Structure 1
């Protein structure tokens, strides 16, 4: 279970941690910048009104569910490209990267169409004032426009990170964050003759920023000298549907894993909508801050997918297992620091989002739950990333479904909306209690599965190696 870290020299552990950090840090900054755009949306909408904040909360919940699910499918490119590089198959690598652009664009177009088709059903489901519902729908439409670009950007992200050059992703993401702030302000307040969209303007700003992200990163990796040897856009042929079957075989379980996790949060947002806009706004504010912190283990998980994938592609299962253990240790250390920050600065964190004292009071309590699950969330996230490096995605998907839907959502509904296990419904606090439990269950089973599978593959390799 210790991944042989306890037997390794201290210098070897520190060296591996530096290698992982060198890959993870730029991606962490890029991912924080991307999530910070949602933070900016939430803060700027909250300054308009609580209704606008609630509209952005619900619209973002729907958008994020689609975005993260489809992103998971495209994430299959990370281990595929890493395996090919580790095995020295450079021609296959270039062909996969080029086909990944078409694949991700098609996935994004499908996602945009599905988001648009969902709007009539959402109007019937949401029990909110008509003016709030209209803003939710307008937010979703604007965000859907950017979905094809968002998915293509993820394919470019996989290409750059698999080459060990994530700084390009970081630079473009920081520029996109800087663009998001003025775009939000212009569209929220209707400047320069544009319609005044209120909180819904954040959705349209998100769509525009995704197109900037995609085109800027495409230009960077196409012409910068660090990527020139692979000539991404050279000999770009039409879609290869047979290759996409392989992408989907690996990517669909990843997408479903991402879906069950993010849908847990999204379903909670929809289920608590009837509890009022204050509860919805509080839930979204705490969830948004939690998602920023989540980028710490998520960046390590992405780095693990690439690093473990390189080792497995090269047939070095000892290095893959060792790297998995160091990645877990690094991520848990970061999560512990994040937990302390949340515990110490709960009220100032909430004041960044809104001046409403009701939201601040409730949010300060919910942040206690967010602090508690930092360690388990980091463990399950990084273990999942390492397993993707091994191209193991089906069992993690099953673990996520059982943990998040059966335990998280099922127990959340029971505690939050019924009196079956408590004297009265616990409301939003019942849902967050279930979140903590579900993440703990996922962390336990995923880390055990990673430990067992990495050990089995190493033993199999040692048994087949010729004796010296």
Structure 2
């Protein structure tokens, strides 16, 4: 197959997902940007707060993600009654997850004074999380509707909701943090209230748009569902959520390692992480597209096209990584001054941006290699590589070397980022080798892959 016929379908799948992912990731970046220009203490507070509630959302999203292949299978065969039953199951699971998410985030808020040394930062974090908790039901319901849209290859409701949500969130951030007009001046905590209002609005909007564009996916009259089937779906999705949250929890712990180094370090580290997460959304979209295309060719026993697709996605990823590294280094000064007025935060951030350029390159290769392996029905090796990189190498060494200063004369945030880059580079190399081995294995093509064709 010609190269253009390999690359074009990958980009057609990846570009809409890129936009949606970048807009969603920019919600956290907007919080960081607005709070950073307001006060360094507020920036540190919402940074740590974001690190606490993001793993909760990630776990919940992973649990719901188990519905996506089933929705796709129902859509491809026109079994709309079954799809409507899936939505009823999803609603039940959403109620459970919303309740658990709300309670868990409120508990984390009350624990902030015990988890964070700086009590001013702890107060901002606590207030921010109290507000965020009220946004969890809307956020989770929005995720449920998004997955039904994606499962039916209907991205317009998700696209429009994401655009409007991002705009509302940014305006409310400025208004509630700084106290515009009749809005109260809440400081960093205002970012939490802005997010809660925005995602609740987004949930209403996607509810209306989804039912307008794919009415057959949602029941008009009540549909009877089996409680045992709901439980089975929940426990089927739980391992997916756990596997996704492994990396997010590790980054959360790294943020708390940084919290022992002072307010300026917390702020600079959090800005760096948020920039890295937005940059990371493009490789994540390429990874999703690679999974679908590789599964397509593997299911049809087309080993040569599987190899060509893998090579094309790796090339796109490396080209993107190089471009981002150049742009980050080129725009260091405007990025630094744009996010904070504090001289110490600016100094630290300027240093960390150099690390981000290397970090995003290694992370991009790792996530894309994982996506290719999943397309070849290999789920365990990416999880093991990610777990080993973070929980066996990066986290232990970051604490003993970067925080405690063992075996190193100058502990600090730079040491933590160096270890982060080293660990992810090692994992990326291992996964690329695994991809090459799978491509050489004649048993790579699996009839099971045909199920994934329905997600196209």
Scaled by the length of structure 1, what TM-score is found?
0.85
> CA separation of 1:120/1:459 partners in 2, compared to 1, >3 Å: closer, same or farther?
closer
2:162 is equivalent to residue 173 of structure 1: yes
> Which segments of 5 or more consecutive residues in structure 2 lack a partner in the other structure?
449-456
> CA separation of 1:114/1:194 partners in 2, compared to 1, >3 Å: closer, same or farther?
same
> CA separation of 1:161/1:411 partners in 2, compared to 1, >3 Å: closer, same or farther?
same
Shift of the alpha carbon at 1:279?
A: 0.5
2:302–2:445 CA contact under 8 A, matched in 1: no
> CA separation of 1:214/1:84 partners in 2, compared to 1, >3 Å: closer, same or farther?
same
Shift of the alpha carbon at 1:249?
A: 4.9
Equivalent in 87, 106, 122 of residue 96 of structure 2:
106
2:401 is equivalent to residue 415 of structure 1: yes
Equivalent in 19, 22, 39 of residue 32 of structure 1:
22
Equivalent in 96, 107, 111 of residue 121 of structure 1:
111
2:214 is equivalent to residue 214 of structure 1: no
2:306 is equivalent to residue 316 of structure 1: no
**Rounded Cα–Cα distance in structure 1 between residues aligned with 2:123 and 2:228:** 42
2:262 is equivalent to residue 276 of structure 1: yes
Which position in structure 2 is the counterpart of 1:6? Answer: none
**Rounded Cα–Cα distance in structure 2 between residues aligned with 1:258 and 1:365:** 29
Which position in structure 2 is the counterpart of 1:72? Answer: 62
Matches within 5 A, 1:64-463: 64-82=54-72, 92-129=82-119, 131-191=120-180, 193-224=182-213, 227-228=214-215, 230-237=216-223, 240-307=226-293, 315-318=299-302, 321=306, 323-389=309-375, 392-425=378-411, 427-450=412-435, 452=437, 455=441, 457-459=443-445
Offset from partner CA, 1:276-302 (integer Å, 9 cap, x none): 111011001111111111111112233
Give the alignment's Cα RMSD to 1 decimal: 2.8
2:54–2:248 CA contact under 8 A, matched in 1: yes
**Rounded Cα–Cα distance in structure 1 between residues aligned with 2:109 and 2:444:** 50
SS at match of 2:154: coil
> CA separation of 1:325/1:189 partners in 2, compared to 1, >3 Å: closer, same or farther?
same
Shift of the alpha carbon at 1:337?
A: 1.7
Scaled by the length of structure 2, what TM-score is found?
0.88
> CA separation of 1:240/1:141 partners in 2, compared to 1, >3 Å: closer, same or farther?
farther
**Rounded Cα–Cα distance in structure 1 between residues aligned with 2:416 and 2:373:** 28
Greater displacement, 394-403 / 338-347: 394-403
2:46 is equivalent to residue 56 of structure 1: yes
SS at match of 1:251: helix
> CA separation of 1:202/1:375 partners in 2, compared to 1, >3 Å: closer, same or farther?
same
Offset from partner CA, 1:306-330 (integer Å, 9 cap, x none): 5556677xx4353894555544443
2:53–2:129 CA contact under 8 A, matched in 1: yes
Offset from partner CA, 1:249-289 (integer Å, 9 cap, x none): 55333322322211222111112212111101100111111
SS at match of 2:118: coil
Report how many residues are paired.
Answer: 445
1:23–1:161 CA contact under 8 A, matched in 2: no
SS at match of 1:272: helix
> CA separation of 1:93/1:201 partners in 2, compared to 1, >3 Å: closer, same or farther?
same
> CA separation of 1:452/1:220 partners in 2, compared to 1, >3 Å: closer, same or farther?
farther
Which position in structure 2 is the counterpart of 1:3? Answer: none
**Rounded Cα–Cα distance in structure 2 between residues aligned with 1:436 and 1:343:** 17
**Rounded Cα–Cα distance in structure 2 between residues aligned with 1:441 and 1:355:** 36
**Rounded Cα–Cα distance in structure 2 between residues aligned with 1:236 and 1:14:** 47
1:27–1:170 CA contact under 8 A, matched in 2: no
> Which segments of 5 or more consecutive residues in structure 1 lack a partner in the other structure?
1-8, 463-468
2:109–2:127 CA contact under 8 A, matched in 1: no
